Amino acid sequence: MTEDAGRKPARVIVADDQTVVREGIVMLLGLLPGVEVVGAAGDGEEAVRLVGELAPDVVLMDLRMPRCDGVEATRRIRSEHPGTQVVILTTFADDESLFPALRAGARGYLTKDAGGDEIVRAVESVLSGDAGLSPSIQRRLLERLSEPEARPSAAEPAPDGLTARECEVLELIAEGLNNQQIARRLHVSTATVKTHINNLFAKTGVKDRAQAVRYAYAKGLARPPVG
């Protein structure tokens, strides 16, 4: 996307609740050909309002924001202003962040280590009707599609309000994997794994990994080793 090719620059709004990060992204985009920053928002609510006022081509949307998070803001923008595309630009690349954002209508998904060229390519892609996904996100989507369905199934609700991903983490704990190994297996960060573990401990009332393993066996979420 270049102005030399006779095309107008893409009009972009940046939404991020961290002032330093937001200003940094705006500054970076200001140096790139084919992009014009027309507004910046500190939360999802402000992003939705600015889209209504400025009708940008694309919003670069953070996920974790106050008042209205990136997923809800994306859903509202795509519903109320279908002419504006959304590219998620976030620190998080775990399934619990990625899939809700895509279901809400985001056409692109980048992590904040993306360079300027990658951001421009994502903007170009979504404006041409394609998906603007980083290579790592594309790989994750392909891997997820090839994975067997997580247990328990929708027909068999998980005990104690556990999510499918928490059950998956619990099963891997029962296999003897540590946090780093679980993170690699699930393609998420160790911080995300710790969050899942804290949540499932709180829901099930277990105090440590040994109790978690016994719980998994008792509830049929994992099978004891044979022999």
Residue 140 has pLDDT above 80, yes or no: no
- Phi then psi for residue 37, to 5 deg, are -80, 120
pTM for the model: 0.60
What confidence score (pLDDT) does residue 149 get?
52
Q: What is the mean pLDDT of residues 43-70?
A: 93
Helix (H/G/I), strand (E/B), else coil: 12: strand
Q: What is the mean pLDDT of residues 166-190?
A: 88
Mean pLDDT of 205-213: 91
Cα(224)–Cα(226) distance, integer angstroms: 6
- pLDDT at res. 139: 66
pLDDT > 70 fraction of the chain, expressed in percent and rounded:
85
Domain boundaries, the chain: 3-143, 159-218
pLDDT of residue 121: 87
Residues in the chain: 227
Q: Between residues 135 and 43, which one has the greater pLDDT? A: 43
**Helices 209-218 and 190-204, interaxial angle, to 10°?**
60
> What pLDDT shows up at residue 145?
61
Please, what CATH class does the domain formed by 3-143 belong to?
Answer: alpha beta
Instruction: For residues 117 and 121, give the distance between their C-alpha atoms in angstroms, rounded to a whole number.
Output: 6
Average pLDDT over every residue of 208-218:
90
Cβ neighbour number for residue 8 with a 10 Å cutoff: 10
Token pair, residue 55, equals 């009708």
**Residue 7 or 185, more confident:** 185
Spatial separation of the C-alpha atoms in residues 77 and 38, rounded to whole Å: 16
- The mean pLDDT of 101-130, rounded to a whole number, is 86
Helix (H, G, I), strand (E, B) or coil at 110: strand
Q: Are strands 35-41 and 108-111 parallel, antiparallel or unpaired?
A: unpaired
227 compared with 114, residue with greater pLDDT: 114
Q: Which amino acid does the sequence have at 16?
A: D
Predicted local distance difference test score (pLDDT) of residue 155: 47
In this structure, what token pair is assigned to residue 219? Answer: 């509830």
Mean pLDDT of all residues in 68-75: 92
- What is the reported pLDDT for 158? 75
State CA 152 to chain mean position distance: 23
Percentage of the chain modeled with pLDDT above 90: 38
pLDDT tens string 74-114: 999 999 999 999 999 988 777 677 888 888 888 888 888 88
Task: Tell me which CATH code domain 159-218 carries.
Answer: 1.10.10.10
Q: Across the chain, how many H-helices and E-strands are there?
A: 10, 6
